[in-house]
Amino acid sequence: MLYQDGEKKAEERLAQNKKRFDEGLLFKTELDRSESAVADAKVKVEGVRQQIARADEQIRETLNEIHQSENSPVRSKQQEDALLGSKPTQLANGTVPIVMKWF
């Protein structure tokens, strides 16, 4: 936000200086300095945007790692259940088919 304000002010100064240059009230070197200030401000803003993007990516990766570590026990339990097969169920008459098959 701070750098964006600086960029905006530099652009406003450049616009004023271009107007003064066109009116013959300003030397070319002053106009060049204003253009350079705008370019520098844009570089700063872009640098901050890149830093924010990298920070966002690091946060996203960290949250994914936390999410995966929290879900690991759940996945392990689900995988164990899949290896064991489905849970036996009791029929309305009170029998459990898998137990009856075993007998």
Please identify every stretch of the chain with a pLDDT value under 70, giving residue numbers as ranges: 1, 71-79, 81-86, 98-103
User: What pLDDT does residue 93 have?
Assistant: 85
Phi, psi of 66, deg, nearest 5:
-65, -45
| pTM of this structure | 0.57
User: What pLDDT does residue 50 have?
Assistant: 95
User: What pLDDT does residue 39 have?
Assistant: 94
CA distances to 6, 16, 35, 55 from 2, in Å: 6, 21, 19, 18
